[in-house]
Amino acid sequence: MGVTATLIATATEVAPPVAAAARGASALRRRLLALLVCGAAVPLPATAQVPPSPSEAARYTGLHAAAWQGDAARVANLLATGADPNSRDGHGRTPLHVATFARRREALRALALGGAELGALENDRYDAVTIAAVADDEDTLSLLLELGASTKLITSRYDGTALIAAAHLGHDGVVRQLIAAGAPLDHVNNLHWTALIESIVLGDGGPRHISTLQALVSAGANTQLADRQGHTPLALARSRSHAQMVMILTAAGAR
C-alpha cells in the first residue's frame, strides 16, 4: 500500500462518535478532496469506529439501555442482580463502550466498579480509551485512566494505539493525558506510522497538530523512525511545508 493509499486507510480510524460525527465526516471529506485535487488515487474509506445508531440505541434493553441513558443507579441495580457487565450488542460493544460513546461518566464509573472489563475491544477492535481519545473527550478519558484503564492496548484494524489515533486528529490535550499515563510513544502501526508521523502526514499543520507534535517530541518520541518509504518525520514535515513542525524537529536533533 502506497503513502496516499495508506493515508486514506488510516483516516478511517477516526469516525467520531455521536454529536461529533458530522464534524469528523466533514473533516475527512476535506482531506479526501485535498488529495483528489493533488491528483492522488484515493480509495474510498470504510467506516471504522462506529457509535450506536439511534435505531440501535432505541432497541437497547438492560445494561446497554441504562449505560446509553446514563442511569448509573439502574446500572448498579442491574449489576447487583446478576447482569453481565461485559455483555455485547450486535457490534460487539459492551455497556462500557456504549457509556463512553454517550459520555455517560457516572454510568461508566458504576460499570467499572461492577466488574466491567476496561480493556474490552468491540468488533472493530476499539477500546473505551481509544473511543474517548478519538472523540476528544478529555473528561471521560481522565475518568477511564483514574479507574485503571490502560493506554498501552493495540487497537483498530491498523494495530495502532489510542495515542496514534489522537495524534492523527491533533487532539493535543488527549495526547498529553495519554503520554502522562504511559502510552507507548514509538509504537509503529501496520501502516508503518508512529504517532509522531501521523501528527504530520494526517494533520493540517495547524496549532493543535503542532502542539501534538511538540508534546510527543518533548516526551522523547523517536524523531528518526521513518515510514515504510524511508521518509523521516523531518522529511515529511518539510515536504508538506509545515514550517513550525520543521523547527521543532530540527531543534530536537531530527535529521
Domains defined along the chain, listed by start: 51-123 (1.25.40.20)
State mean pLDDT over 24-50: 45
Whether pLDDT at 16 is above 80? no
Quote the pTM value: 0.84
Contact 153, 189 (CB under 8 A): no
Greater confidence (59 vs 29) lies with 59
Q: Tell me the average pLDDT of the chain.
A: 87
Give the integer Cα–Cα distance in Å for 170 and 206: 9
Q: How does residue 27 score in pLDDT terms, banded at 50, 70 and 90?
A: very low
Residue 150 CB partners (closer than 8 Å, separation 6+)? 118, 119, 129
Confidence of residue 196 (pLDDT cuts 50, 70, 90): very high
Distances, alpha carbon 247 to alpha carbons 1, 10, 185, 213, 244, in Å: 30, 26, 20, 11, 5
Average pLDDT over residues 30-51: 48
